[in-house]
Structure 1
Amino acid sequence: MTGNPEHKGHTLYCGLTLEHFTDRRKVARASAAGRTYTRDEAAAALGLRTADFDHPLRAGLLTHSDTSVSAWHKGVVIRLYRQADLERVLRSSRIDWSTVRATPKGHQSPLAQLPTKTQ
């Protein structure tokens, strides 16, 4: 058998290896990178107006990493966005973040000019 074993599409890891893992900095980085945000929280983490959050999605620069069902509204699925993915978007050379963040309310965001990703 090659590669890591899987169960239901998830990689399995040796528990003994994990038990003896002692690099706390790597654990902290992995934990932070895996943190998930709702749409509004992700927009805030990117420093975007919530109305502008759909532009990076439309352009294919960002996609949700997981979903959850709302505890308040039965059957409503909430998309969740991972910290590491948000950081990747922040490093994108396609976006001038200072210009985006300086755009006043009521004016079109420079993100609206991003091309739509084709399927």
Structure 2
Amino acid sequence: MTTQQIPSSLGARQFPEYLGIPEWQFERAVRLGCIPAPDRARRRWSRTVVQQVRDQLAGITAATGAVPDMGATRAAEYLTERLGTEITPDAVAELGRQGALRIAGAYKDHPVYDGLGLEMFEDLAAAQEAGRLGRQVTRAEAAELLDVRETDIRHLHRAGYLTPIRHVHSRWQRRREDPAVPLYRLGDLHALQDRDDIDWVAVRAAAGPGRRSPFAALPNAAQT
């Protein structure tokens, strides 16, 4: 296409279409500075800029990568295929929590992970460890793992000793309701087990039917 055939200016939707690249790749190129900011009003680019970008397109697409930003489930599927072993969505969330994967934004309150970072990620050992520490469990599963009662977990949560990593909907909840089921991170349960100020032997010894949890005396987190 000659310079004369290029429109006098292009908008944010027309420009990637003209270049033949997806919008996500165009937006990433702008964010990374591979494509300059609009130089015309109403977020439009001039013919001069369009021609410059067109001539440098191969280098721009190489710098922006071929993987779009995505949520934890799709990111886990992508990493599983790339690394040749199962990577769970919990592992992806943990890698994001650690900063090993960049969180690019959010969609419906769920993190979206940077596709360029996913494309460059190669640390299989870190992904596997993240899958172990980042595993998310329900209150019942947490109680089973710690060999205590669910009421003990409730008291630890109430007292701020254990904080949910997120909440999900129960099978009985309507989708329009706020998620009510807390999920706990396995790494936080391990840290809880290592606390010197908790006598786990005594807690487990008090686990008989009708017996009061030793954690019941803990003050509410808001009161501490």
Count of residue correspondences: 114
Consecutive aligned runs of 4 or more in structure 1 exceeding 6 Å deviation: none
Q: Which residue of 2 aligns with 1:118?
A: 222
Alignment of 1:1-119 (within 5 A): 6-8=104-106, 12=114, 14-18=117-121, 21-22=122-123, 24-71=124-171, 73-75=172-174, 77-105=180-208, 106-118=210-222
Say which SS state the counterpart of residue 111 (structure 1) adopts. Answer: helix
Unaligned runs of 5+ in 1: none
Query: What is the aligned-residue RMSD (CA, Å)?
Result: 2.6
CA drift at 1:57: 0.9
Distance of 1:54 and 1:14 partners within structure 2: 37
**Do the aligned partners of 1:95 and 1:111 also contact (CA within 8 Å) in 2?**
no
Distance of 2:132 and 2:189 partners within structure 1: 12
**Do the aligned partners of 2:170 and 2:180 also contact (CA within 8 Å) in 1?**
yes
Distance of 1:69 and 1:110 partners within structure 2: 30
Q: Higher Cα Rg: structure 1 or 2? A: 2
Q: Which has the higher helix share?
A: 2
Q: TM-score, normalised by structure 2?
A: 0.44
Distance of 1:5 and 1:62 partners within structure 2: 24
Q: Which has the higher contact order (CA 8 A, sep 6+)?
A: 1
Q: TM-score, normalised by structure 1?
A: 0.77
Distance of 1:39 and 1:5 partners within structure 2: 27
